[in-house]
Amino acid sequence: MDSVRIAMLGGGFVANFYMQGLQDVGGHEVVVVASQREDTAQSFAQRWNIAETSDDFERTIARDDIDLYLIALPNFLHRDIAVALARAGRNQVCTKPLARNGVEAREILDAVSDSAGIHGYAETEVFSPAVVRAEAMVRAGSIGDVLWVRSRESHSGPHSPWFWDPAQAGGGALVDMGCHCFEAARYFHGKDVRPVEVMCWADTLHHQTKAEDNALAILRFENGGIGHAEVSWTSRGGLDLRNEVHGTEGAIFTDVTRSTPIEAFTSTPSGYVVEKADAEQGWVKPVPEEAFVYGYQAEMRHFVECARTGAMPRENYHDGYVINTIIDAAYRSSENKTWEPITL
């Protein structure tokens, strides 16, 4: 195909990041945006110069002129939309987490397994240029055998009300941000190394919500390696993304939001600084090209090329299912205060 024709499903926060990532990807056209609300779709289309809008997902999925569907919707809509796309044989990509829990993720995985379409799991962490470079060093043997991966994902809280309702989101900070940390651990240890058990603490320390706003988890792999996840919705100072990879012969550290190449002191508001920033003046550390730094550009380029060639993406719904299964075990551990097995 000369140009991959894309349907954006959703017109909110992550859809805007996807569009930022797609700006530097050639050979595609976003031809329609579909949202539950027509006014949201129209506002999004106006911002990004998209010709068509829709508030009917079923009709949009039924179109025969779309090459790739990007699911940028709230968690509670993922299963039904992904299954409908699979049954229609469509190529699809879904934002993280794949589903609210492992049961829903399994339903999605079973549906796409019987579908002619490709499926991509949009986990930005493992497309971030810094993380990709670090993983290449690991695979080259730079730090010996990986022993321990520590990842931190934190900010001061979600941007949409549905995140605060565990029935809609599937949980709180653990499902929202732990998915990044657990996939980073799999990425650095190697996806051929099976996760076997997890120990987790999760609690609500500050926010008035039914969901946990902080969590710590230890993920153990079959070779004895460890993944250590720290997630928070009460962390001030903007988005905090960090990884440490410790091996027998060295260590690698990534920090894309606090160790930026720009640092400034401003006596007046400086404008947008970083995702979830708490202040726009004083000492600020703006993140240049967030879509590139976080991995949105790299993942969108990869998914567009996979739609063009028919190749299965390197991050796909099997990965999303594994992550949902790990998170389910982590929630059980938090309740039972014991190590919980991970059954895939």
Check if the beta carbon of residue 56 is closer than 8 Å to that of residue 34.
Answer: yes
Tokens 């470079």 sit on residue: 133
Cα gap 58→177, rounded to integer Å: 30
Cα gap 181→203, rounded to integer Å: 18
Confidence label for 148 from pLDDT (cuts 50, 70 and 90): very high
Cα gap 300→284, rounded to integer Å: 29
Q: What is the pLDDT of residue 35?
A: 97
For the cut 80, the answer to whether the pLDDT of residue 274 exceeds it is no
Check if the beta carbon of residue 244 is closer than 8 Å to that of residue 133.
Answer: no
The partner residues of 242 in beta bridges, in order of sequence, read 152, 255
Q: What is the pLDDT of residue 280?
A: 84
Report the pLDDT averaged over residues 153-158.
94
For the cut 80, the answer to whether the pLDDT of residue 161 exceeds it is yes
Confidence label for 113 from pLDDT (cuts 50, 70 and 90): very high
Backbone dihedral angles phi then psi of residue 145, each to the nearest 5 degrees: -80, 135
Angle at alpha carbon of residue 140, lines to 134 and 146, rounded to 5°? 65
Q: Which residue has the higher pLDDT, 271 or 110?
A: 110
Confidence label for 195 from pLDDT (cuts 50, 70 and 90): very high
Share of the chain above pLDDT 90, in %: 87
For the cut 90, the answer to whether the pLDDT of residue 277 exceeds it is no
Report the pLDDT averaged over residues 116-129.
98
For the cut 90, the answer to whether the pLDDT of residue 271 exceeds it is no
Closest CA to 67 of 304, 311, 312: 304
The partner residues of 12 in beta bridges, in order of sequence, read none
Q: What is the pLDDT of residue 210?
A: 85
For the cut 80, the answer to whether the pLDDT of residue 273 exceeds it is no
Q: Which residue has the higher pLDDT, 24 or 18?
A: 18
Report pLDDT digits (tens) over 229-254: 999 999 998 899 999 999 999 999 99
Report the pLDDT averaged over residues 85-114.
98
Mean pLDDT (the chain, rounded): 95
What's at 239, amino acid-wise? Answer: L
CA distances from residue 343 to 17, 79, 194, 207, 328 in whole angstroms, order as listed: 33, 21, 10, 32, 10
Tokens 């390696």 sit on residue: 225
Structure tokens at 20: 């930022």
Q: What is the pLDDT of residue 71?
A: 98
Structure tokens at 223: 């070779």
For the cut 90, the answer to whether the pLDDT of residue 128 exceeds it is yes
Domains of the chain: 4-124+296-314 (3.40.50.720), 126-294+326-341 (3.30.360.10)
Choose the weakest-confidence range: 15-19, 141-145, 224-228, 235-239. Answer: 235-239
Residue 202: count other Cβ atoms within 10 Å of its Cβ: 22
Confidence label for 177 from pLDDT (cuts 50, 70 and 90): very high
Q: What is the pLDDT of residue 112?
A: 98
Q: What is the pLDDT of residue 208?
A: 74
Cα gap 232→158, rounded to integer Å: 10
Check if the beta carbon of residue 200 is closer than 8 Å to that of residue 217.
Answer: yes
What's at 165, amino acid-wise? Answer: D
Strand order in the sheet with 240-247: 251-255, 240-247, 146-154, 226-232, 214-221, 195-203, 340-341
Cα gap 13→239, rounded to integer Å: 14
> If DSSP codes are grouped into helix, strand and coil, which group holds residue 244?
strand
* DSSP-derived pairing of the beta strands 282-284 and 340-341: unpaired
Tokens 């931190």 sit on residue: 152
Tokens 């998209």 sit on residue: 50
* DSSP-derived pairing of the beta strands 340-341 and 195-203: antiparallel
Structure tokens at 72: 């940028």
How far is Cα of residue 225 from the mean position of the Cα atoms in its chain? 23
Residues in the chain: 344
